[in-house]
C-alpha cells in the first residue's frame, strides 16, 4: 500500500479540511500509518501539485484541495449563486473581534462609536466566523467573542499571525479624515492599503479577496481610533 496515494485520495474526496490525525483515523486500525508518515505524504503531495491549477493547501482546520486563486474567477462562473455581500458594519465588527479578541459587544461599540446590531452578531455566529469564548466577569457577564478556525479557513490562512498587524497598518501613515461618510469615493492611499492587506492575508479566493479589502479598511479604523485614545 502506498500511503501517499491513499492520503491524496482521502483529501481529494473529503468535503472539508482534514488534519493528519483525521486522515490517520480513516485507515483501518491495523493499517494506520504513523502521523509523521502522513505529514510527509501531505508535503510530497503539495510539491506534486506545485505547478498545477489546483493545490493542496494547509489552513487552520487541516489540509484541503482547492483551485488556485488566480484561476478562481473562471471557476466561479460554474456556480450560479452569487457570493454573499456583507455590510461595512458587519466587516468592521469582524475586524475588531479579529484584532482585539476576546472582545465584548460593548468593546466593539466603544471602538466603532455606534451600536452593534444583534443581526450582525447573529450572522457572524451563524457563519461560524466567531464564537463565544467566555463571559466577562462584570455585572451582566457579557459574552466575549473570538474568531474560529472556520474564519481562518475562509480567508485561507492558518493563524491570526498571518493578518497584517495594527502597527503595520499604522506605519502606512494614512492621513484620513475620520468624519468621512462610508459611501465616499476611496482615495488612492486607501486602495494601496487594501492591496497591502490582501497580500498579507494571502491566497484568498476572488470573493474572499474583496471581503478582505474591506476588513483591511476596518482595521485602519481600529488603528486610528487606538491612536486618538492613547
Q: Architecture of 88-229 per CATH?
A: Orthogonal Bundle (1.10)
> Whole-angstrom Cα distance, residue 186 to residue 176?
10
pTM, whole model, 2 decimals?
0.59
* pLDDT classification of 182: cutoffs 50, 70, 90: very low
Q: What is the CATH number of domain 3-67?
A: 1.10.10.10
Tell me the domain boundaries of the chain: 3-67, 88-229
- Per-residue pLDDT at 172: 57
Q: DSSP characters for 169-217?
A: HHTT-----TT--TTSPPPHHHHHHHHHHHHHH-S--HHHHHHHHHHHH
Model confidence pLDDT, tens digit, residues 135-154: 988 888 999 999 999 999 88
Task: Answer yes or no: are the C-beta atoms of 27 and 38 closer than 8 Å.
Answer: no
Task: Answer yes or no: are the C-beta atoms of 224 and 175 closer than 8 Å.
Answer: no
> Whole-angstrom Cα distance, residue 112 to residue 218?
9
* Res 20 pLDDT > 60: yes
User: Which one has a higher pLDDT value, 151 or 190?
Assistant: 151
Task: Tell me whether domains 3-67 and 88-229 share a fold.
Answer: yes
Amino acid at each position: 500500500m502506498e500511503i501517499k496515494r491513499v492520503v491524496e485520495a482521502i483529501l481529494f474526496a473529503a468535503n472539508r479540511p482534514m488534519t493528519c490525525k483525521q486522515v490517520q483515523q480513516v485507515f483501518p486500525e491495523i493499517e494506520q500509518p504513523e502521523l509523521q508518515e502522513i505529514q510527509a505524504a501531505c508535503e510530497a503531495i503539495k510539491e506534486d501539485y506545485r505547478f498545477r491549477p489546483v493545490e493542496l493547501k494547509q489552513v487552520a482546520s487541516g489540509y484541503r484541495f482547492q483551485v488556485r486563486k488566480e484561476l478562481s474567477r473562471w471557476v466561479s462562473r460554474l456556480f450560479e449563486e452569487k457570493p454573499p455581500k456583507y455590510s461595512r458594519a458587519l466587516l468592521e465588527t469582524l475586524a475588531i473581534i479579529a484584532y482585539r479578541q476576546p472582545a465584548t459587544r460593548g468593546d466593539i461599540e466603544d471602538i466603532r462609536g455606534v451600536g452593534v446590531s444583534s443581526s450582525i452578531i447573529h450572522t457572524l455566529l451563524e457563519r461560524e466566523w466567531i464564537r463565544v469564548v467566555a463571559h466577562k466577569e462584570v455585572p451582566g457577564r457579557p459574552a466575549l467573542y473570538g474568531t474560529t478556525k472556520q474564519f481562518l479557513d475562509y480567508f485561507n490562512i492558518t493563524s491570526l499571525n498571518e493578518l497584517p498587524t495594527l502597527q503595520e497598518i499604522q506605519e502606512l501613515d494614512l492621513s484620513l479624515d475620520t468624519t468621512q461618510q462610508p459611501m465616499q469615493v476611496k482615495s488612492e492611499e486607501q486602495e494601496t492599503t487594501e492591496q497591502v492587506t490582501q497580500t498579507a492575508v494571502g491566497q484568498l479566493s476572488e470573493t474572499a479577496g474583496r471581503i478582505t479589502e474591506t476588513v483591511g479598511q476596518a482595521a485602519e479604523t481600529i488603528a486610528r481610533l487606538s491612536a486618538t485614545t492613547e
